[in-house]
Each structure stands twice: as C-alpha cells, then as structure tokens.
C-alpha cells in the first residue's frame, strides 16, 4: 500500500520531490538496509547518491550552493527515507540541521565560503557537539571549556552521542563550550573544530540499540587549538543559536518519525493481507482492521503536525510550540506503530531482517533525541503559561 500525499495540499514540485526520494528509498536504500544494520556500517555510496539528488542542499538558497527549496521539501525527503531506513534518514537530518544549518545561519562569510559548497553537495559532512555525559537537556551543565590564548581558542572537554562525527567525509564538528562566566551562569559559545586537529579524538562508535548504520561517536578535546575566527556566531550566543536550530530539527525529526510510522503501516497492511490465519486472511479480522486503522490515524495526524510546523517556519512565523507538538506527536506515532506492526508480524516481527523489527528498535530514540518528549511537554506547558 502507499499513502496519497496529494491530499496534503502540497505543490506539484513538492509532490515530485517526494516521489523521486521515495523511489530512491525503495530501490536503493531499502535493499541495503538490513545488511547495513547487521554490519553497523553507514553505506557511503548511498550517502553519495543522496548528494547526487541534491538532498543535502534542499532548504538552502541557490546562491550558496543549495537547491532553493524550503523546510517542507527537506522534511518530505527525510520522511521518505525514514519509511525504509531511519539510519539513513537521520544521517540526512543531522547533516543538514546540525551540520550545515548553524554555519549558514550564524557563520561568518569566510566560514560559509569555505565549507558550505561541499556540505550542501554531500561531498562532506559536519556534526554538532552539544550533549555531554552530564549535559543534554540541561545545557547549563556544560563542562567543555574554550579559552582564548592569543589568537587561538583552546578547547578542553568531552561530548557524547554525536551523529555524523566519524564518517570518512566528516570535515568538522561545531562544539558548544563555556567561554566565560556571568551573573546568569555560564557563557556558551560555538566553536568550529576541524577533524584532524591535534588533541581532537573521535572515540569508537557506540554499540547502540538501534540506528545501527548511523555514525555516532563520543568526542574528546585535550588542549585543542583552533584559530579565534573559528567562533561560529557571536560569543555567548552559542546555546541561544543552537536552540533555534534545535526547534527546526524537531520538525525534521517529526517528519522522520512520520516516515517510520508510515513504513510500519505499509508493511503491516501488506502482511495482514497476505497472511492466512485459521483459513482466512489476517486483514479480514475486525481486530486487525481496527489496529491498522489506528496506525493510519497516527500517520495522518503526525504528518499534519509536522507540515503545519514546517509551513510556519517557512513563512517566518513563530513555530517553537508547534515544532514541539509535532515532535511529540510523531515520535509517539512511530513507537506505537512499530509496536503494533511487530504484533501483526508475530514471530517474524522479532527478526531483524524484517523492517518492522528494526523500526521497533530504532523508534525509541525518536522520543529522546533533539529534546526528550518530556522537554516537548515542558515547551507546550510554557506556551500555555503554566510552567
């Protein structure tokens, strides 16, 4: 089964983009997904294929090497990939939202000129180092420091769970670090640290529950020296700028989660139609029909939620609360649909070679990454004036 996206008031070029990426996902990504998951390897030729399609440059202006699209376009691509392989989808989401976007929005002209062409073409990847062993949702607990020594920043500390930080084409990591102290707490700034800088170590890849093919590493910085001009944005605005990027990222994660929820629905419908139980197809039983109907409901509501938030963002209107609602709604939909699809598949759903089994493992992180669902509830409560 397939979902008719034409009912979501999308422009013709957006529908065509979704069609192209879904075809790429079905014909190129899906056949590789199980082996990539089993070997815990990010297939770089698939990444190159996404670059050839222009996916890494979708929401960026043409004058900086992008495709001149909008955030809806990016999210349609991420959703299409998330249907078949969340590891590939998060590779694109993190590369754009956490790697290139901070430089595009807050970087200097020299930083943009040096790095954006390759990032937007998919020839290079970048990462963003925010999370630490004791600092994630509570960024005020950041312990990584950066001090000016003449015309250089000296960075010391550690980061964890950093996506796209150790691929063969990773060029740099933008790191949040404490650059001073004030009456209101630590001054956080963002600093670009190129790969290969002495003292910058990328640790071994994590042994994760899911997203096995996604590149994720811990990072350490021991007296790392980079030029003073590697400051990204204004000093002391590192975390504030990242919050803006994080709000956008929550929309993209919602799109990824919607794709995962849809992939589970598609697989469950097809399996229920073909599976014979006690002499009749599983799909003929009302209990299965109701379960599948609820799965479709979740996909629809999740897509409406992220589309609304993305359209607000593209229109230049406030979208923080709507992004939180979309991320919360869609991540719950992905987890619930993965559970229900696994139940439809029975024993086969517990096998990693089936996509629903991988979605069941993968989807949990959607309720944690880019701000836990509890953080999303707090954002919504603040908007209501009760927190």
Distance (Å, rounded) from C-alpha 143 to C-alpha 132? 8
Do 289 and 179 lie in one domain? The reply is: no
CATH code of 44's domain: 1.10.540.10
CATH code of 181's domain: 2.40.110.10
322 in active site: no
Do 112 and 178 lie in one domain? The reply is: no
Q: How far is residue 311 from each of residues 71, 206, 227, 305, 322, measured CA to CA in Å?
A: 8, 35, 38, 10, 10
Domain stops at, among 125, 145, 163: 125
Structural domain boundaries enclosing 60: 5-125
Domain stops at, among 125, 144, 162: 125
Do 103 and 142 lie in one domain? The reply is: no
Residue written as token pair 């096995």: 212
Record the pTM: 0.95
Do 139 and 85 lie in one domain? The reply is: no
Q: What is the mean pLDDT of each run of 10 residues along the chain (387 residues)?
A: 82 95 98 97 97 97 93 98 98 97 96 97 96 76 93 97 97 96 85 97 96 97 98 91 90 98 97 87 90 97 98 97 98 98 94 95 95 94 93
Do 314 and 349 lie in one domain? The reply is: yes
Domain stops at, among 236, 270, 299: 236
The 10 Å Cβ neighbour count of residue 27 is 9
Q: Give yes or no for a contact between 228 and 151, defined as CB atoms under 8 angstroms apart.
A: yes
Give the pLDDT score at 137.
Answer: 66
For the chain, what is the domain count?
A: 3
**Choosing from 79, 266, 367, 370, which is the catalytic residue?**
370
């Amino acid at each position: 089964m397939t979902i008719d996206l034409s009912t979501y008031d999308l422009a013709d070029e957006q529908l065509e983009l979704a069609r192209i990426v879904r075809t790429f996902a079905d014909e190129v990504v899906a056949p590789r997904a199980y082996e990539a998951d089993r070997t815990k390897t990010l297939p770089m030729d698939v990444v190159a294929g996404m670059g050839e399609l222009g996916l890494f440059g979708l929401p960026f202006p043409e004058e900086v090497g992008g495709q001149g699209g909008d955030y809806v376009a990016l999210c349609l691509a991420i959703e299409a990939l998330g249907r078949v392989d969340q590891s590939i989808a998060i590779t694109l989401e993190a590369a754009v939202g956490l790697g290139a976007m901070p430089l595009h929005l807050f970087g200097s002209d020299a930083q943009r000129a040096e790095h954006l062409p390759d990032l937007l073409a998919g020839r290079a990847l970048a990462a963003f180092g925010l999370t630490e062993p004791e600092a994630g949702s509570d960024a005020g607990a950041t312990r990584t420091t950066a001090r000016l020594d003449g015309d250089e920043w000296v960075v010391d500390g550690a980061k964890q769970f950093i996506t796209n930080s150790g691929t063969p084409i990773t060029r740099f990591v933008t790191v949040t670090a404490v650059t001073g102290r004030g009456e209101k707490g630590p001054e956080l700034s963002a600093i670009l640290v190129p790969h290969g800088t002495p003292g910058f170590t990328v640790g071994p890849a994590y042994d994760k529950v899911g997203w096995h093919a996604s590149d994720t590493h811990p990072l350490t910085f021991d007296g790392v020296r980079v030029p003073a001009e590697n400051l990204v944005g204004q000093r002391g605005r590192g975390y504030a700028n990242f919050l803006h990027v994080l709000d956008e990222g929550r929309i993209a994660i919602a799109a990824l989660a919607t794709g995962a929820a849809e992939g589970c629905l598609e697989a469950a419908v097809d399996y229920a139609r073909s599976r014979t139980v006690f002499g009749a197809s599983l799909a003929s039983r009302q209990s299965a029909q109701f379960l599948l109907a609820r799965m479709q409901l979740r996909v629809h509501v999740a897509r409406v939620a992220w589309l609304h938030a993305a359209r607000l963002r593209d229109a230049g209107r406030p979208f923080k609360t709507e992004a939180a609602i979309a991320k919360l709604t869609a991540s719950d939909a992905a987890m619930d649909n993965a559970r229900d699809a696994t139940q439809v598949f029975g024993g086969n759903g517990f096998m990693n070679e089936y996509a629903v089994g991988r979605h069941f493992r993968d989807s949990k992180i959607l309720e944690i990454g880019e701000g836990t669902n509890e953080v999303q509830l707090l954002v919504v409560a603040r908007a209501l004036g009760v927190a």
